[in-house]
A and B are shown apart, each in its own frame.
Chain A
Amino acid sequence: MRLAAALIALGVVARLLTWNPVAHGDRARHVKVTLVGGAAAAVVAIGARAQLGPRTRSPLFWATAAMIAADATHYGRLAHPVSRGAPLISVGGDLGDEASLRRGWDVDIRGFGSARVSSDSLLLESPSGSGASIAARVPPVPDAQRNWLLPVGLLERERGERVAWRAAIYRTGDFYVVAELRRLLVQAVSYGIHVTYPDERDQLRGHEIPHPAVHDGIVHEWVVERTPRQVVLTLDGRQIWSAVPREPITQVRLGESKTDPSHGGAMRLERATYAVSLERA
């Protein structure tokens, strides 16, 4: 019985000490659930001791069974990569070979457009009236209401998204779509970059951003990051546009997606990624 009591006490203390806000959620709630679980295991152990007498190992057996069953959930959640900061979803990477392209992306060619993989990049070419783009193959977010070993944070924490790509732009038409992220449209235009995004009335609104990066033909680092508070476009580490987010991104398409005559150009993509993560704060 002493062993059973020690096991329960140790198990409860260990669970309290290994609390993780992402894995286990609210601390006060975790403490309550852990104490109730410990009390329930104690009720079982005391009952076994009382019914079967002092010389039986039954209390230890039943206490172990109750504690291990609950520990499996606790430590399973703690050990999950998401609890340690890994993204919920991660798609993409280097685009220098066909296999890695096909693993994370669907290639969408329209008209005379083309997509060619070279040794270190993917070249998307779309003459006027044609399209050439890649769309991220986004897997569903794991459902914590079906898989109970997933961190509790999935149920209650807000999520952030990050789309990053390294690319050189070669615009030939009046417009060239660099990225279409659901209703966030990033286009290369004569003066630089044109961003379209819904405003506070949910009406699509254009933003003109003079910038030389889309004319120089060299590779730049593009990042769109959405948090619950804002959506930000940065280019080579400098923020060039931001807005209040209207919706999650969830759909990622890079390259020319419009096939009207005013659109055309090419983009050489070295790397592209999309990730969904839990907000840590």
Chain B
Amino acid sequence: MSRRTVVWLGILAFLCAAQLASHTGRRSGFLESSRPVHSVNELLPGDGYVSWVGTVPVLHDADGLLTLTALFLGDRGPEATGILDRRAAYAYLASLMIPSTGAYTGFMLVNWIFWWAGAASMYWFVGQRWRSERLAVAVSFLVATGNGFVFMAGVPMSYLPAYASVAIILALSEWLGAFDRHPTLRVWLLLGWAAGVASTIYFAHIPLLIFWWVYGARRIPWRCLVAATFLVLGISLGWELVGRTLVGLEFTTDNSSAIDSSLRGWLSTVLRPWHEMLIYLRGGPVAGAAAIRGTLLSAFPYPWWALASLGFITSPPEDRTWALALVMAGLVPAIVILSLLPLPRGAFYMYPAVYFMAARGALRLRPVAGGAALVLLALVSNLDLLGVHRFVTHFHESMGAAW
């Protein structure tokens, strides 16, 4: 490993640590966005949808992971572990940290390691695949200052590690040569194993599966894709089986019912007259919340899209195909759930493509302008530190049909 690489990896670690430290507790984007002043839910208290880890305010949903962590530490039984049993790997990893670091710090260390690993993975992946140090530096910089990462950094929940898992597994696929001309079944079983393990952190496996199939259907033997898919789903369902029967977890609720409701919503829309359906898709007064555009703009505000568009236009067809396949990986889950609720944090799974194209777009500008553009994106990610919470708010609650 060259000295320059080591220095850059150190800078990435510092960037992630600094932004994480500046978004802990009350300054967490997720918690801030739940406060009534930003949220549609006016019934919440002034602190928002809040719970406490010691004296640190955190988003209330984190309670489920705290309970699971206590289970892994042997402090309690599996009763009423809550709604996050499918995301138990995050609690398990935290349980290895917490005794020596304290609860909140332990969760933050897990987040920091994953964030840095995600940025470092993109650095290696882009450098390896496109043989461009500048592009690798730019993309990893965008991951290390990414708006979705900053938003989720301070909350003890598995979103950030799940986002990072996508980058890590993209790098793994490059390391294994999964998309080379003649990949082996073994390689795809390894990828399936990795995505399956990631599924126990959160649903990073679904975007990965979509990407593999969209990008790989005409490149990879189907037996490889099918085997990997079965392995991913097998591990995901296997954990539920083991968790239920051997550990005694309840897996009380999940988002399956929400997905069902959303799909039913889509079906009823599709069965409407075509002009009503178009209005719905446009996100007009019929169903303002369902605006796809709003979801995407909330996941990545305009500056990212502007630069990514420039990068996309100037990219060769192969890179466009790769990026579009990754965009589908975030877009499809976001659309599936969209008729029930817009979920920018679900659409954010496409970030490797958007950040890659944005980095390429920035590098197409003059050097000073390109560098300034990248710094501008980092600043927008951190605007909440200056009291501007608009972007933070939208990452949680989609801007819907508004421009």
Contact = CB atoms under 8 A, between A and B. Distances in A.
A146 B176 CA distance: 43
A50 B193 contact: yes
Nearest to B92: A40
A32 B248 contact: yes
A30 B74 contact: yes
B54 interface: yes
Contact of B72 (A36, A145, A152): A36
Interface in B190-207: 190, 193-194, 197
Interface string A63-92: 000100110111010000000000000000
A33 B193 contact: no
A40 B88 CA distance: 11
Contacts of B72: 33, 36-37
A152 to B, nearest CB: 6
B97 A152 contact: no
B190 A70 contact: no
Nearest to B71: A33
B332 interface: no
B75 interface: yes
A204 interface: no
B54 A146 contact: yes
Nearest to B191: A51
A50 B74 CA distance: 30
Interface stretch (A21-29, A104-112, A167-175, A224-232): A21-29
Contacts of A155: 75-76
Contact of A29 (B77, B103, B175): B77
B239 to A, nearest CB: 10
Nearest to B194: A47
B96 A70 contact: yes
Contacts, number: 65
A43 B96 contact: no
Interface in B278-314: none
Choose among B75, B76, B99, B103 the residue with the greatest number of A CB atoms under 10 Å from its CB.
B75
A29 B54 CA distance: 25
Contacts of B136: none
Which of the four size classes fits the interface of chain A? 20 to 34
A209 B78 CA distance: 50
B102 interface: yes
A149 interface: yes
Interface in A18-57: 24-26, 29-30, 32-33, 35-37, 40, 43, 47, 50-51
B385 interface: no
A148 interface: yes
Nearest to B70: A145
A26 B74 CA distance: 9
A218 interface: no
A204 to B, nearest CB: 38
Contacts of A69: 96-97
A196 B384 CA distance: 61
A152 B197 CA distance: 29
A32 B75 contact: no
A51 B171 CA distance: 12
B96 A66 contact: yes
B73 interface: yes
A14 interface: no
Contacts of A74: 74
Interface in A118-158: 144-146, 148-149, 152, 155
Given A36-B247, A72-B99, A148 B73 contact: yes
A51 B190 contact: yes
A145 B70 CA distance: 9
B248 A73 contact: no
Contacts of A72: 99-100
Contacts of B103: 146, 148
Contacts of B100: 72, 149
> Nearest 10 CB-CB pairs, A to B?
A69-B96, A148-B99, A73-B99, A33-B74, A149-B99, A50-B190, A29-B77, A148-B98, A152-B75, A32-B247
Interface of A: 24-26, 29-30, 32-33, 35-37, 40, 43, 47, 50-51, 66, 69-70, 72-74, 76, 144-146, 148-149, 152, 155
